[in-house]
Amino acid sequence: MVKKKFTTSKKVKGRTYQYFRKGGQYVRLPNDPKSEEYDREYWRLMRGDGALSQRFTFDKLILSYKQSPKWERLATRTKADYSKVLEYLHDVIGPKDPTAMRRSTIIEAQMANRHRARFANYIPHMLSILFEQAIDLDWQRDNPAKGIAKIKTGDGHKPWPASAIAAYRKEAHGTALLIFELALGTGQRASDLTRMEWAHVESDGVWVTQGKTKARLWIPFTSALKAVLGTTKRTSLSHILNDEFGRKLNYDQIQKKVMAVRKATGLTEFTLHGLRYSAASELAEAGCTDQQIAAITGHKSLSMVQKYSKGASQKRLAKQAQTLREQNKNRS
């Protein structure tokens, strides 16, 4: 049988798949080249009908991804992060053909944004997700963004030292102080703080369903958090974090309130998420096991618990070691 023009095949896990390829675009054909179905589909594509006649664009690919179950399964905060990058991709390459994009172009886009490293690393990450969607749609067969190395972002979030915590508490009041004590006292992510409700408070603690992990936790209050909650005026019957008019504060709003105090006290090197590290550190320094720390932070992986608490754990163990060292000297 003479091979038809623009056709090719690919073997995957022992099975051979047939494709019509033209202009860098691939369309699946029926698996049997001798069948009537194969012949009919081939000539339909040769006439310019069907999927091949539709111009592939990133905008169409983004729309397809947002309509997929993959998007629906994402946590609200993850959707917000992804949306910022998708808007950027829409503005920069929306009308362009994803099947024609080269790996070097993706790396160039990443490096052009290296002044904002976290966002820059999201570019190949987001494109990799989109290319997987393109593969599912049979637009292409490979993912040029897969495995691109991340730009180093430095130390990132770090726990607040005692002096920084004291300085913030001295300057902050009202909602800015409540946000701080909720973050430090419960060890939860900022997005989870916005979902806490008065109805979730029970037995000097609060029930939390984490947006990222979906884990449901009950977190006992620290004495500092309990004191602040006791003086907090309830402007809403639902959410704990609200403005003076009883409207729920969102993620960006609580970040801005904390940032205002950080700027006033010269604590801009410490982040709101860093208080999650601080909570884990305080628990580790108090001698808590990794499992006990995870009961507060909600981490599924103990390796992540250790990442959050490694500094404090080392400090605690070092103190124990030096104490044993001195005791041994005294016995000599």
**Span 281-319, pLDDT tens digits:** 999 888 888 899 889 999 888 887 887 787 777 878 788
Rounded to whole angstroms, how far apart are CA atoms 187 and 276? 4
330 CB-near residues (< 8 Å, 6+ apart): none
**Span 239-264, pLDDT tens digits:** 999 988 889 999 889 999 999 999 99
Compute the average pLDDT of residues 208-225. Answer: 91
- CATH superfamily, domain at 162-319: Intergrase catalytic core (1.10.443.10)
Bridge partners of 28, per DSSP, are 19
The token pair that represents 279 in the structure block: 């909570």
Question: Any idea which residue has 């829409």 for tokens?
Answer: 90
Q: Where residue 2 falls among pLDDT bands split at 50, 70, 90?
A: low
Task: Find the range with the poorest average confidence among 52-56, 57-61, 186-190.
Answer: 52-56
**Span 310-326, pLDDT tens digits:** 777 787 878 888 888 78
Predicted local confidence at residue 61, as pLDDT:
93
Q: Where residue 230 falls among pLDDT bands split at 50, 70, 90?
A: very high
Predicted local confidence at residue 9, as pLDDT:
85
Residue spans per domain, the chain: 7-53, 58-136, 162-319
Angle (CA) 310-314-317 rounded to 5° is 135
Predicted local confidence at residue 53, as pLDDT:
47
Compute the average pLDDT of residues 196-214. Answer: 91
DSSP at 116: G
Mapped onto helix, strand or coil, the DSSP state of residue 60 is helix
Mapped onto helix, strand or coil, the DSSP state of residue 220 is strand
Q: What is the DSSP string of 173-211?
A: -HHHHHHHHHHHHH---HHHHTT-BGGGB-SSEEEEE-T
Based on its alpha-carbon atoms, the radius of gyration of the chain, rounded to whole angstroms, reads 27
Is the Cβ–Cβ distance between 144 and 106 less than 8 Å?
A: yes
Which amino acid is residue 186, in one-letter code? T
Rounded to whole angstroms, how far apart are CA atoms 243 and 124? 37
Predicted TM-score of the model (pTM) = 0.60
Q: Where residue 130 falls among pLDDT bands split at 50, 70, 90?
A: very high
Bridge partners of 201, per DSSP, are 206
172 has a pLDDT exceeding 50: yes
Write a three-state SS string for 265-323.
CCCCCCCCCHHHHHHHHHHHHCCCCHHHHHHHHCCCCHHHHHHHHHHHHHHHHHHHHHH
pLDDT higher at 16 or 208: 208
pLDDT higher at 78 or 167: 167
CB atoms within 10 A of CB 160: 22
